[in-house]
Every structure is written in structure tokens, then in C-alpha cells.
Structure 1
Amino acid sequence: MQEEWNDTTAVAPTADGGPAAEPPTDDAADRPALYGRKVMSFVRRSARLDERLQRAWDTYADRYLLDVAAGEGSLAVRDDVRIDAAYVNDTWGNGHPLIIEIGSGQGENIVAAAEAHPELNFLALEVYDPGVAHTLLLAGKRDLNNLRIAQVNAPELIAACTDGALAEVWTFFPDPWPKMRHHKRRIVQAELAADVHRALVPGGAWRIATDIEDYALHVHEVMDGLDGFANAGGVTVSLPTEHVGKGNAEDAAGLPHADFTESERFDGRVLTNFEKKGLAAGRVIHDFTYRTVSAE
């Protein structure tokens, strides 16, 4: 989410735990996205938990928080982790379909979905301590048995999923990285899409939502031409065909526009406080549903 930065991938912090340095700009313009280090879609900032959230962590972490990280404080996934049918049975105690939410934020959406659908299993991916703790709190209060949380880098966890392990993947209101030079850090990328496609069951869906017009254009550019995914939307929207950044977003209305296909609002997404704020600010919500299809 843009205000709570719920995306799950980022510039690694400095060795002393301080914030990451700004990425190089002009002299690195022609370098590959992964030049020298991983390009992440979040900047990890430490945040002290208040008493209520610390109590929730202490009470519920053993029940809900998966032990999949490479080490204490690490967001990397252990090399031996494989999310497959056997893992689902061992972890959730059943063989129900598994849905993963990338960047679950405060947990409002995935907790509501898990409560409404006990016939499904859910896994929340979130890197920030307060978001994880709040999700633990909500899940514990509702005594949910079909929800787990992993505090790891989302693309690594998706890569650890075996073929057809997932029913759906959700990515709602990811960090927009509004500066033009940071667009490469957006979570929706072709590399992640390839892993999502492999991990989804035939006909499975990657559901995406954003309230940032330029991010909507980015999603179309990444996803609409990919083999193996079909845009399952039925709504026509008009978007600028050129990108804008934080400094020139006001120019978008004067740019050339074209029609794109998107989806109706996903009924399975609750109206969170974050989405309410976006609507109140006059932003349009863009929903996408991309389903896996067999290669021709």
C-alpha cells in the first residue's frame, strides 16, 4: 500500500541497519535492473511495536508465523523450503486450495477472506513488523485455523512454490514507486509473473489492484502480452500511453490515451481503510484478473 508500503521486495538496508542509500541514477540508466544486487520493491525500516502489537506477536506468532526465513531478521527464504501439497497438508492440516496475498499490509483483507472462506487456505506475505503483528492480532481474535503469515521476500517465496501449488495470488495496492527512476522496483514484473504462472493451477488467477493510474499502465505493459496469461477483465478504461512520475504526474491528462481492458472490483476484497482514503482523494481503483491459460 502506498501509505504503509505493503509491497514485499527492497533495497537492502545498510550494514548498520540504517536506511538504504538512494539508488544511482544517470550513470546507471543503461544497467540491467539487477546490476550488482537485487532490486527490491520495498525499503525495510525498523518500527518498534507498541504494547498491544508486541503482546499479539508474543501470543500468536507460534501459531500463525511460518518458520521459512533463512535466519533471524532475514527476509530471505531458506533454500530447503518448498511449498507443495505435502507442505500444505503439514501446515494447514488439509489439502484445501491455497491463496497467497503479496503485501498483506495490516491484514484486513486476508483475515476477512479467511474468515469468510474456511474451505480455503490463506498465506499472508508481509515484511513490516507492525503489519505482521496486526495480522497476528486479527487472526488470533477470530481464532482462524486457515491462515498463516510469512515475513519474507515475496518473490523468493513464490519461487519456492512448486508447479500448481497455488489457487490464486493477490497483490492489492502495491507500493507505486512514483519516481520514474524507481519504476523498475515495482513488484509486478515479468520475472515474478513467470514464477506466479508456474505456481498457479491451470485457470488460477493473479489478482492485482492499484489506485495509481501510472501503475495501471505498468501492469498492462508487463502482463497483457505475456504468454500463458489471459486478461479476464470485461471493463474498458482509458489510460495515458506514456509514463509519468512523481514530478510530472499532473501532465497525464494531456498525454495520448488508449483503451485497456480491466476487471470489475473483486468481490473478495474488503473495503479497507487504505482503499477508502484513495477513493476519498478522488483516485480511481484499477482491478485486474489474469488467468493462466495453456500455451498454444
Structure 2
Amino acid sequence: MIDGVSGGSERSDSGGRPVHRVLSFVRRSGRLDARLRRARENYGSRYLLDASAGAGSLDVRPGFSLGQSDVVRLWGSDRPLVVEIGTGQGENVVAAAQRNPETNFLAVEVYDPGVAHTMLLAGKSGLDNLRIAQVNATDLMAAIAPGTVAEVWTFFPDPWPKMRHHKRRIVQPAFADAVRGSLGEGGVWRLATDIEDYALHVHEVMDGRGDFLNQGTVTVSLPVEHVGKGNAQEAASLPHADFVESERFAGRVLTNFERKGLRSGRVIHDFTYRAV
């Protein structure tokens, strides 16, 4: 990993000109304690996919792809594949893999401590239906063959609350294109956020698309103007409109992160978009 903060990364186009990519995460190093170092050493070869362009790189390596035959080769079965993007410490994806041995899971996480902790939890449970990719999710989704994935989960992504940073939010039209491309017909993208402004952002990106259908049944009221850190206190006084969202996804465990949000009085917004 690279220390510090970066708003994007540089690549070259076919003409050799640099192309700036906006990243949805801050690149920073994380120290591994002895326990997490051992977990990485003991379980890395078992769980970590060879998807990275090199040591310390979060770019997907040239030539990497993930299709149905790759799933069979890497997971050892053709069970349905669920991809969770931004798995954090691995609490949710490991619990899901434990509860659903008939399903394959791919945990996508960029931070070293989270990756190592996910390995630790998976190794302790002896899971054989979980793999981990430590790469940029936008590149990974673009490398997945059409129809390979049954569900994509994106729970509590970085909200990037400052208005000028909203372009870094992972839910963007181009990313939705990549998610839709990975899903089979009837596949599902599940999302959740505890930030009201991010909920509005999700609706703006997703509700008007012709290739996803909002499966929600719950009516919620949201401000129809975006707010950030500088004007969040104005949200209640802004014009509101009704939107449709989903009941809480029963397959998502209550993580420490979600508990903190609930204790602080935040409302959890769940979304279910079915590929059509």
C-alpha cells in the first residue's frame, strides 16, 4: 500500500497519454499486528486471488478475468457467486459464507488489516467457499465475464460527505454498468447506507436506468437537494420527495459499524436492484 492520500491513479491510454482515474477510497498503509501477520502468512495462499498487478498494487493485473470456468477452478465448484465490495473486517461476508455453504463468495477489500482479518475469520472457520481480491473494485467488476455473478453487495460505502468529493462515491453510472455486466439475468445488486445524502445519490444513479428494476416496497422521504458537511444542518428544511427503498436485507449481519450508526440515530437505507 502507499502511505498518504490520493484522489486517483495514473494509467496510460493506447496513445501513451496519462489517464487520471478517480478512486473511491483513500490509499493508505495499515500496520498488521502479529496476529494478522500470521493470518496473512497462514491463509494468504488459500484465500487471496492472484488478481493484483504486483506487490503493493491495487490495479487488476493485465489478462486477469473471472468467468464461470474460473469460478470452478478457483472455488472448486460452480455454485452461485456473490461478490461483496468493501468487506471491511470481513464480519458480514464470513458470516454469510458460513450460513450459505451452497454459495461461493468473493470479498473485495483494499486495506491490509481488513484483508488479513477476513483471512483470520475464514481460516478459523475452515471456509472453502470464500476468496478475497485485494484490488480496485471498479477494475475488478470490469474484468468479470457477463453473467458470472448472482449478487453484488455494497454495504456502507465511503460516503465522501464533502460536496466536491461526491464524484469519488463508488456508486456511479459507469460502475453500475460494470455491475450489470457481471450479473446474470435476474441477478441482484444490494446496497445499504446510513447517510441520507448517499441514499439520494443512489436513487439518482439507479432509479432511472432501464437495466435495473428497483425492488423496494418501503416509501421514504428524502431531501431533493444534496447536502455535504458544510450544510448538513439544512437537510430537514429542504424540499423533500418520496422514494422507494427495501426492507433491511436479512442476509446482512449487524456489524459494529452498523451498530455505531444506529446508536448515533442514523437511519439505515437498504436498496435492492434486480437486473433486467
Query: Deviation digits for residues 130-165 of structure 1, max 9, x if unmatched?
Result: 000100000000000000001000011110100100
CA contact under 8 A between 2:5 and 2:28: conserved in structure 1?
no
Residue 81 of structure 1 deviates from its aligned partner by: 1.1
Alignment correspondent of 1:19 = 4
Structure with greater strand percent: 2
CA distance in 2, matches of 1:117, 1:60: 21
Alignment correspondent of 1:127 = 110
CA distance in 2, matches of 1:126, 1:202: 26
Amino acid at match of 2:118: T
Amino acid at match of 1:19: G
Q: Which structure would you say has the larger RCO, counting Cα contacts within 8 Å and 6 or more residues apart?
A: 1
Query: Deviation digits for residues 244-268 of structure 1, max 9, x if unmatched?
Result: 0011101100000000000000000
So what's the TM-score if we normalise by structure 1? 0.88
Alignment correspondent of 2:250 = 267
Residue 280 of structure 1 deviates from its aligned partner by: 0.3
1:1-296 matches, cutoff 5 A: 17-20=2-5, 37-293=20-276
Amino acid at match of 1:245: G
Residue 20 of structure 1 deviates from its aligned partner by: 3.0
Query: Deviation digits for residues 162-202 of structure 1, max 9, x if unmatched?
Result: 01000000000000000000000000000010111111010
CA distance in 2, matches of 1:261, 1:248: 25
Task: Give SS of 1:80's match.
Answer: coil
Aligned structure 1 segments of 4 or more residues deviating by more than 2 angstroms: 20-23
CA distance in 2, matches of 1:38, 1:124: 23
Amino acid at match of 1:117: N
CA distance in 1, matches of 2:256, 2:184: 31
Residue 271 of structure 1 deviates from its aligned partner by: 0.4
Amino acid at match of 2:4: P
Q: CA RMSD in A?
A: 1.3
Residue 21 of structure 1 deviates from its aligned partner by: 5.7
CA distance in 2, matches of 1:52, 1:249: 40
Residue 125 of structure 1 deviates from its aligned partner by: 0.2
Alignment correspondent of 1:8 = none
Residues 21 and 127 of structure 1, relative CA distance in 2, 3 Å threshold: closer
Amino acid at match of 2:131: R
Residue 44 of structure 1 deviates from its aligned partner by: 1.0
So what's the TM-score if we normalise by structure 2? 0.95
Residues 143 and 22 of structure 1, relative CA distance in 2, 3 Å threshold: closer
Task: Give SS of 1:279's match.
Answer: helix
Residues 18 and 106 of structure 1, relative CA distance in 2, 3 Å threshold: closer
Unaligned runs of 5+ in 1: 1-12, 24-34
Task: Give SS of 1:38's match.
Answer: strand
Task: Give SS of 1:72's match.
Answer: coil
CA distance in 2, matches of 1:198, 1:67: 22
